[in-house]
Each structure stands twice: as C-alpha cells, then as structure tokens.
Structure 1
Amino acid sequence: MHKLDDLPYSMTFLETILGELLQIFKREGIDANSDADLIRKLDIRQSTFQELFSSRENMVKQVILYDMEVENRRQMEMLSKATNPVEEIMLLLQDGIRTIKQVNPIYIADLQRYPEAWQLSMQNVIENNQHVNAEILNRGILQGYFRKDINLQLVTKIILEQFFMMINPVSFPPEKYDLAEVFRSIYLYYVRGICTDLGGKLAESYFAKNSM
C-alpha cells in the first residue's frame, strides 16, 4: 500500500482525482466502470493510476476518506450559520435529503461490497451522529427547544438506527422506495415529536420557508 507522502504527485492532484472518482461513483455506482474505464474517464495514464491506487479496494477506501473529510468540513460550515438548535437539526435533515437525492442508490449497495471502506463510512456516521446530534440536542434541551423528558442517549441511538434502517436495501429496496422520501418520513416527523411548543413553532416555521 502506497503512503500518500511517497507518491510523486501533489495532494492537490490526488484530491482532484479522488473528487472526480467520487462524482463518478455517486452518479453511476462503484462497480459500473472497470479500472480501464475509470482511467479513460479520468484522462490519466495507467501508470499514474497504479501509482495512486495499489488496488481497487485501496482506491475505494481513499475515495471514502476524501468524501468523509470534505463532508465533515462542509457540515461544520453549514451548522455555523444556524441561529438555534432546531435550525441546526433542520439543516442536517435538509442536507441529508439533498445528499440522498444526488446519490445513485447503486452506490450505497456497491460500497457494502468493500468491507474496509464501508466500515470507515459507517464508523464516521456513528461518531458524527453521537457528537453532532447529541451536542445539538443537549443544547436544545437546555435552551427550551427540545423536551426535557427525552432520553438524550436513547434519542441519539434511535436517530442512528433509523439511518441504518433507511439505507438497508432489504428494508427499503431502492427500486421500490424513494430514499429521499423515506428519509423525510423517518426524520422530519420524529423531530416534531421531541420538540417543545417553542421548538415545534420554530420547526414549523422552518418547514414553511424551506423546501425539503
């Protein structure tokens, strides 16, 4: 396995390649293209491709790590613009729906065929959920937007398990269900249930002003 520091290419070049691969994967799926197809679409030499990626599994792993870094940074910037915890939760939901709409369901199914990359992706979801949602919910409770009687640890766990259920093709086959609508049905109405009257009014106001 190559170390990034050992590659004769700049990180900017590598990030460009990873970004292009990510777009291809999310649009067409991971296994829709052979390595030769990807080399042609990336417009790079085979030798360059082989220097960047020691194997198919290594390529997918690097793409996932790149995606995690970009998305986590983008999420932090997005949340910094919110004015209260209810808006933060709504922004996360809206962003989740938008992201799902832009991803071919085949991508998620394909990713599960690469255990190391899939585990990294799921671990990021778990850690991000525990940190972001728990922190937001806790502030929301203290500020009177979310109900004081909710079990913070349990609600955070439920939100996470709902996510895993949503992306499980056995539970919601992508050819039968619109994942964006599944996401909306699972989360938007659940959030309403954990809000106080004050939080509920803010949520309703946000729903009215923003198209999901």
Structure 2
Amino acid sequence: MTFLETILDELLHIFKREGIEANTDEDLISKLDIRQSTFHELFSSRENMVKQVILYEIEVNNRRQAEMLAKATNPVDEIMFLLRDGIEAIRQVNPVYIADLRKYPEAWQMSLQNVADNNQHVNAEILNRGILQGYFRKDINLQLVTKIILEQFFMMINPASFPPAKYDLSEVFRSIYLYYVRGICTDLGGKLAEAYFAKNNM
C-alpha cells in the first residue's frame, strides 16, 4: 500500500465512522498525523479529497467483491455472498456519511455510477448463469430484474423513503433483497438459498 493509499484508507474509515463533515481539514490533519503541507500536496481541495477517497473506496470494494465471488460454488452462493456483504457493509457505515456525500455532487455521482455499472454487470452475469444451471426461474426478464434490484438499492439509501433515524438500513437491505431472491429461485435454487439463510442466520 502506497503512502497515499494509506492516507485514503484512514480517511475512508473516519468518514464511514463519523461522516465527512464532522471534521475540519485541520482535524483530519491531526488525526492522520501528517504535516499540513503534505495534506495540501495530496489534496487540492475538500472536494478533491472526497473524490479521491471515493475512487479508492470503489477500487477496494470491487476488488473485495471479485475475491469474494471467486469462493462461491454456484450462482445462488454468489447472490447470497453479495447480500451478506451488502448487509455487513451498511452496518459498518454511519448514515451521516451517505448524507454528507450527497453534498459533493461529483463524488456522489461517481459512487452511484459505480453501483449502477457494477450492479448491472455482476447481477446480470450471475442471474444468467443461474438460469442456465437451473437455480433461477427461466421466465424472469434479466434486464428488468437487474434494473429493479438497482432501483431498490437507490430507494433504500434515499432518506425520504427510509430515514436513517427511523430505520436500520441493514435491516431494510435484508428485507428487500432476501424476499426478492426467494421469488426468482426455482425449487432447486430455493433450497440452497434457504439452507444459506439458516446457516448464516440471515
């Protein structure tokens, strides 16, 4: 890990734990234990800092996802791994982080675009293989299903739909996707999904 990656990793953890706006640049410099001159050499502005952190988060998440999916033995496993990873990821994030990120339009759009692109590609590929192998129903519309999955995610992180102060976002995520997965599974896929739910207490 390079020096910059180390700094971005520390910033990402701070942001997810406390939100982006909880600390001034001076606070962050102190927490990172670096010189002010070094900080300003790395980041030309607050917006630039947030953008770099988001680019780093996207890279880390996509790499982790690829490593995780490589351990799956079938498409149902892959969907279950994605669900569990999504639930755990949301549990580790202070909702303030998502609210603060919206204040940085370029970084926010980059994050949403990655979710959209990744969701469309990964889910469509998994679902297609699952259909061919008999785990998912043959009558599902791949394009429509992947679009619905994506829109459900955007609905979930919309504070107007699910205010974080009122709803546990990880439970919202679980409620949306677990029941949806059951609906697209064949009997064979459903048995694997139920076994995974029971084993992992999802």
Provide the TM-score with structure 1 as the length reference.
0.94
Deviations 1:1-38 (A, max 9, x none): xxxxxxxxxx7000000000000000000000000000
Deviations 1:44-98 (A, max 9, x none): 0000000000000000000000000011000000000000000100000000000
Partner of 1:205: 195
Cα distance in 1, alignment partners of residues 58 and 142 from structure 2 = 25
Cα distance in 2, alignment partners of residues 35 and 211 from structure 1 = 41
Residue 154 of structure 1 deviates from its aligned partner by 0.2
Q: Does 1:113 align with 2:94?
A: no
Cα distance in 2, alignment partners of residues 19 and 155 from structure 1 = 34
Q: How does 1:59-74 map to 2 (within 5 A)?
A: 59-74=49-64
Deviations 1:128-166 (A, max 9, x none): 001100000000000000000000000000000000000
Residue 211 of structure 1 deviates from its aligned partner by 2.7
- Amino acid corresponding to residue 188 of structure 1 in structure 2: L
Identity across aligned pairs (percent)?
85
Q: 1:46 aligns with which of 36, 55, 78?
A: 36
Q: Does 1:188 align with 2:173?
A: no
- Amino acid corresponding to residue 28 of structure 1 in structure 2: E
Cα distance in 2, alignment partners of residues 95 and 205 from structure 1 = 17
Q: How does 1:22-171 map to 2 (within 5 A)?
A: 22-171=12-161
Provide the TM-score with structure 2 as the length reference.
0.99
Cα distance in 2, alignment partners of residues 80 and 69 from structure 1 = 17
Deviations 1:94-123 (A, max 9, x none): 000000000000000000110000010000
Which secondary structure does the structure 2 equivalent of 1:30 belong to?
coil
Cα distance in 1, alignment partners of residues 124 and 200 from structure 2 = 24
Cα distance in 2, alignment partners of residues 90 and 109 from structure 1 = 27
- Amino acid corresponding to residue 92 of structure 1 in structure 2: L
Cα distance in 2, alignment partners of residues 48 and 196 from structure 1 = 56
* Structure 1 gap segments, 5+ residues each: 1-10
Cα distance in 2, alignment partners of residues 44 and 118 from structure 1 = 27
Residue 171 of structure 1 deviates from its aligned partner by 0.3
Cα distance in 2, alignment partners of residues 78 and 191 from structure 1 = 19
Which secondary structure does the structure 1 equivalent of 2:22 belong to?
coil
How many residues align? The count is 202
Cα distance in 2, alignment partners of residues 146 and 39 from structure 1 = 50
Cα distance in 2, alignment partners of residues 161 and 185 from structure 1 = 15
Cα distance in 1, alignment partners of residues 133 and 187 from structure 2 = 13
Deviation >6 Å, runs of 4+: none
